[in-house]
A and B are shown apart, each in its own frame.
Chain A
Amino acid sequence: MKNISIYRPSTVEEAIQLLSRHGTEAGVYAGGTDLLIRLKNRLKQAPTYLVDVKKIDNLRYIKEDAKGGVAIGTATKLSEMADSELLQKKYPMLVQAINMISSPELRNASTLGGDLLQEVWCQYLRGGYSCWRNGGYLCYGAIGDNSYYHSAMGGRLCYAVYPGDAATALIAFDARVKLATPGGVKELSMEQLVPGDMMVDGRIQSHVVRFNEILTEVVIPPPKPGVRASFEKLRPRGVWDFAMASLAMSLQVRDKTIEDARVVFGGISGKPLRETHVETFLKGKTLAADLSDQAVSIALANAAPLKYNSTKIDMAKGLLASGLAKMSAVA
């Protein structure tokens, strides 16, 4: 492992100054369940200067805001979210999704910010191949074994899938985020935060956060009346793997009529993928068992599987069918 320097700032402002000073050589260090592994894997792209944000007090909280929504500090551990009564009461689907991330031990170390901004888990990147994300110019996943963690919906240089589950669930709630930047606070929707492979500061990454910015808060709007939400995830090993396909779905239902729908797939694309065609189809329909066949038939029409991963599309469609079936059974 290369030599690293660790800074322990006590304020967000100080952390931003440190990040600005070291440019892309620096990285935010919180739970370390992604970053430390990148260092151990000796990846070229791993930072040399770690800015440890764990000592910054005002990044770790879960609190109800004035509008009835919930604000979560990004240094909050996933286990704290999983144990939160407030989240369980207001957004049980989010707690369900968080409980499916990794293992209890890792949830006790991982933070919400780390889960949202984690690096992809492509075996070629993590194995030190000189790929797009590791200083090289070729995606080995596109031509090698892409059965598990590569996109079945096309790619943009890198074909690895976005691995986080929290973002997939939070997009279904229309959550927003706050970024601390040298120029002040910036607000984005969760979708804008993780739009898929982007070139940011000369690097390819799944999110838009620049080298001198820190993700500080996630804000979830108050639950809408009549909302029903579900999260489902298929993974190679049920204990702790990343999603081969996942689905976060949120339906606002009144008198069995779907007034609004959010359908977000995870694990199949370079970003949490909103399936807007299905959302449009569902709006105004009566929530009933026969809905799923039609929804599945129009879902993921622009799928572009690689050689070994077309099964991910079948899995995603299966999750859509089962999710709608469960929701209609409750109705």
Chain B
Amino acid sequence: MHAIEGILFEPVGCLAEFPAEPFHEIATRLFGGRRKTSKSGSRAYWHLLNLIEAADRKLDPSEREMVESLEVQAVDGASAYDDVVPALSELKAIGTRLLVASSLSNAAVTRFLERSVPREHFSAMWSRDNAGGVKALPLRSALHCASLNPERTMFLTDTAEGLKVAKSVGVQSILMMNDPDEAKRLAMHDPAGGIVSLYELPDFVRLLAARNA
């Protein structure tokens, strides 16, 4: 793996534990069908993103309002991990560029940054609104506008879908091993690396710098 210049963060599952229910609710209201019962906020979120991507249609204003409102509700119910702020501060201090690249709406990301993790840690914020779509699009926009080399950029994720998206964009897919059983399963998807805690991320970046020196 190359030395790392930048890290892209999807708040859901990487910076905070999100509740699953609002994402299930959005999926049911937009696409109908049987309600998924996953307790994992991340899995519910990525499932919703798959549905949005597959539907390939623009939301009408009332749908958009409903989705944003439920996403903000999810943000309000999210608990940021204890290690986020110290890890981000350390990463910034060692010169790593930190960007939000999320498939949440602009309103939800803004709310998240107001409520959970100070915005000053990030050099840019990409949501599905300013990136023009979900999943790979916020990552591509973040990379392009920051002139980051994908091979020198990490994307943290705790889902199989997230790993796929990272690989499709060419960035280093780093597995957040929040749950050991789930992580064991996801390790089979051949992530570029994995961490147990965000505290480890600065060491990861330093180790890569040393190995590539």
Closest B residue, CB atoms, query A204: B207
B51 interface residue, CB < 8 Å from A?
Answer: no
B30 interface residue, CB < 8 Å from A?
Answer: no
Closest B residue, CB atoms, query A142: B196
B6-14, B138-146, B175-183: which lies at the A interface? B175-183
B177 to chain A, nearest CB (A): 6
A240 interface residue, CB < 8 Å from B?
Answer: no
- A143 — which chain B residues lie within 8 A by C-beta? 177, 180-181, 183-184, 187, 194
**Interface pair A138/B193, CB less than 8 Å apart:** yes
A12 interface residue, CB < 8 Å from B?
Answer: no
**Interface pair A155/B196, CB less than 8 Å apart:** yes
B105 to chain A, nearest CB (A): 32
Given A156-B203, A157-B204, verify A142-B180 contact (CB < 8 Å): yes
Given A138-B175, A157-B203, verify A202-B1 contact (CB < 8 Å): no
Of A138, A156, A202, which one neighbours B187 at CB under 8 angstroms? A138
A4 interface residue, CB < 8 Å from B?
Answer: no
Chain A positions 90-118 with a Cβ under 8 Å from a chain B Cβ: none
A144 interface residue, CB < 8 Å from B?
Answer: yes
Closest B residue, CB atoms, query A199: B207
**Interface pair A137/B180, CB less than 8 Å apart:** no
A261 interface residue, CB < 8 Å from B?
Answer: no
Q: How many interface residues does B have (CB within 8 Å)?
A: 24
A15 interface residue, CB < 8 Å from B?
Answer: no
Alpha-carbon separation in the docked complex, A159 to B137 (Å): 35
Given A138-B193, A157-B203, A307-B180, verify A199-B210 contact (CB < 8 Å): yes
A201 to chain B, nearest CB (A): 8
* Dominant SS among interface residues on chain A: loop
B188 to chain A, nearest CB (A): 11
B211 to chain A, nearest CB (A): 5
Of A136, A156, A307, which one neighbours B200 at CB under 8 angstroms? A156
A140 interface residue, CB < 8 Å from B?
Answer: yes
A131 to chain B, nearest CB (A): 10
Alpha-carbon separation in the docked complex, A142 to B187 (Å): 12
Alpha-carbon separation in the docked complex, A156 to B206 (Å): 13
**Interface pair A137/B187, CB less than 8 Å apart:** no
**Interface pair A144/B184, CB less than 8 Å apart:** yes
Alpha-carbon separation in the docked complex, A307 to B207 (Å): 26
**Interface pair B200/A306, CB less than 8 Å apart:** no
Of B180, B191, B199, B211, which one neighbours A138 at CB under 8 angstroms? B191
- A144 — which chain B residues lie within 8 A by C-beta? 184
**Interface pair B195/A157, CB less than 8 Å apart:** yes
**Interface pair A159/B207, CB less than 8 Å apart:** no
**Interface pair A202/B213, CB less than 8 Å apart:** yes
B207 to chain A, nearest CB (A): 6
Most interface-central of A140, A142, A199 (chain B CB within 10 A)? A142
A28 to chain B, nearest CB (A): 21
**Interface pair B1/A137, CB less than 8 Å apart:** yes
- A204 — which chain B residues lie within 8 A by C-beta? 207
A75 interface residue, CB < 8 Å from B?
Answer: no
Closest B residue, CB atoms, query A138: B194
B52 interface residue, CB < 8 Å from A?
Answer: no
Q: Would you give 5 A-B contacts (Cβ < 8 Å), ordered by A?
A: A136-B193, A137-B192, A157-B200, A199-B210, A204-B207
